[in-house]
Chains A and B, each alone.
Chain A
Amino acid sequence: MHAIKTVELVKQYKNITAVDKLDLEIREGELFSLLGVNGAGKTTTIKMLSCLTMPTDGDAVVGGYSITKESEQVKRLIGVSPQETAVAPNLSVKENLELICGIHGFSKEKTKLKIREFSERFGLDTVLQRKAGKLSGGYARRVSIAMALISEPQILFLDEPTLGLDVIARHELWETISSLKGNVTIILTTHYMEEAEALSDRIGIMKNGKLLAQGTVKELNERAGTNDFEATFVSIVKEGAV
């Protein structure tokens, strides 16, 4: 069964086609990375799949529901961590997590349990009472991701989760993301090759709104005839230009 299947998904902005007839199939429980340089159309794809923006053409099925006709159902199944850190600045970390639990209709007891579980899992114990707007980049990003996950989504979207983080914070976050694998389907976007390589079950390479190739690191390396993923990426993206 597919967690996500897109059919000729198109997003047209005035004079640019941000996403161009995208056909994606993402399996349940896998971590799928959309890899591409800036402007490839990754964020736009995530925005359409998370019902934030309507496709110009085509459709996608997310968790069994159409993003164009059944957005209400889709929104109940997904968790989204937007490219920019998205927290309520004047609320404490705990209140931010409570906000999401409340929106998803969790009981008081369940909210309490979830917050305890998540502050441990994301290493937030020490900052739970701090205002989210006052956190460092690494902590703010972790809160932002925890907010996407605390609602127990079946499908999790992480848009450039480690953008702007230092090396240590990035590696810590990778560990956290790896620990989530298996339970939820994760769609992650990134322009860091090593990030896609380290975390993904499968990778889709995007350029100019089009999907150039998809597969495991091994499959993609074989296709490009190299055993270095960076070389593979460069070769596939260059090939796509011709």
Chain B
Amino acid sequence: MRMMTFAKRCTKEILRDPINLGFGLGFPLVLLLLLSALQTNIPVSLFEIDTLTPGITVFGLSFVTLFSATLVAKDRESALLQRLYTTPLTYFDFIMGYMLPLLPIALGQTLICYLVAIPLGLTLSVNIVYAVIGMIPMVVFNISLGLLCGSVLGVKQVGGICGALLTNLSAWLSGVWFDLSLVGGFFEKIANALPFVHAVEMEKALFSGNFDLVAAHVLPILLYSVTITAIAMLCFLRQMKKQ
């Protein structure tokens, strides 16, 4: 009850911010449209919709990190959190209240990306459902990363780090724009050590029905997801105690 009240408030706060919706949904969809239009005009196969869409969905999640980080950072900078810390809301209520609302929002974003890609020529199959559900660990990673950043950074820094740095990282290191093995070396190693490329490959595997490829990619994602969530919870607790 207490926690759901707070979660409801967070949902409203996110959905009522037009910038959130504009970027979170608009930007990935525009990219999808642009790149698939580009593909129809070039002879080589660079951005085939069936491989492009899973990549865009993963990229779109970096905005979920931005939402959650911005929400937490804003709450910390206003006196609202101070007030709420003096109410019966517990530490657990706060963590869940921040994280839960973003789960359906993020999965909705993924689903919309797939749906919009259908008229662009995406192969229609039940695998879309698996691809959306399979995104859950990556979604948790992105939400937690936001909670972590929001707990240690201010609103402005969050804009820079989550808004600019992370969206670029997740784009360049995801293998969506170019084949990482072509670049190779150090760059490829870094990309493989981060979860983004694994999320893209896992989405591709789920979408194309190559389920045997999923396990290898889901493990690093799970590892990141659990680790970042744990660190985020610690950082949130620390700032809560430091009032």
Using CB atoms and an 8 Å cutoff, list the residues of chain A in contact with chain B.
47, 50-54, 72, 75-76, 78, 80-91, 95, 99-100, 102-105, 144, 147-148, 151
Contact = CB atoms under 8 A, between A and B. Distances in A.
B125 interface: no
Given A53-B243, A91-B12, A91-B13, A103 B82 contact: no
Given A52-B85, A52-B243, 8 more contacts: A75-B86, A75-B88, A84-B78, A84-B82, A88-B13, A89-B78, A99-B5, A102-B2
Contacts of B12: 90-91, 95
Interface of B: 1-2, 4-6, 8-9, 12-13, 16-17, 78-80, 82-89, 241, 243
Contact of A52 (B1, B17, B78, B86): B86
Given A89-B78, A95-B9, A103 B88 contact: yes
Given A88-B9, A88-B13, A90-B13, A103 B79 contact: no
Given A53-B243, A99-B9, A104-B88, A83 B79 contact: yes
Contacts of B6: 99, 102-103
A103 B90 CA distance: 10
A86 B80 contact: yes
A85 B79 contact: yes
Chain B interface mostly: helix
Contacts of A52: 82, 85-86, 243
A72 B88 contact: yes
B158 to A, nearest CB: 16
A140 to B, nearest CB: 11
A91 B15 CA distance: 11
A86 B13 contact: no
Nearest to B15: A90
A104 B79 contact: no
A91 B87 contact: no
Q: Quick one: which of B17, B84, B87 has the most chain A CB within 10 A? A: B87
A240 B79 CA distance: 32
9 contacts: A80-B83, A80-B86, A82-B79, A82-B82, A84-B78, A84-B82, A88-B13, A89-B13, A148-B83
B98 to A, nearest CB: 13
Contacts of B82: 52, 80, 82, 84, 86
A151 B5 contact: no
A209 to B, nearest CB: 18
Contacts of B88: 72, 75-76, 103-105
Nearest to B78: A86
A102 B1 CA distance: 7
A75 B87 CA distance: 5
A99 B82 CA distance: 15
Contacts of B16: 90
Given A72-B88, A99-B9, A88 B17 contact: no
A104 B87 contact: yes
B118 to A, nearest CB: 33
A91 B83 contact: no
Contact of B79 (A86, A105, A151): A86
A85 B241 CA distance: 21
A100 B87 CA distance: 8
A184 to B, nearest CB: 15
Contacts of B89: 103
A105 B3 CA distance: 10
A126 B150 CA distance: 35
A91 B243 CA distance: 24
Given A90-B16, A91-B12, A105 B2 contact: yes
A100 B80 CA distance: 11
Contacts of A83: 79
A84 to B, nearest CB: 4
Contacts of B2: 102-103, 105
A50 B86 contact: yes
B5 A103 contact: yes
B10 to A, nearest CB: 9
A188 B80 CA distance: 19
Nearest to A131: B16
Q: Which 9 A-B pairs have the closest CB atoms?
A: A102-B5, A86-B79, A84-B79, A86-B83, A80-B86, A82-B79, A50-B86, A90-B16, A90-B13
B87 A103 contact: yes
B205 to A, nearest CB: 39
Nearest to B84: A103
A50 B83 CA distance: 9
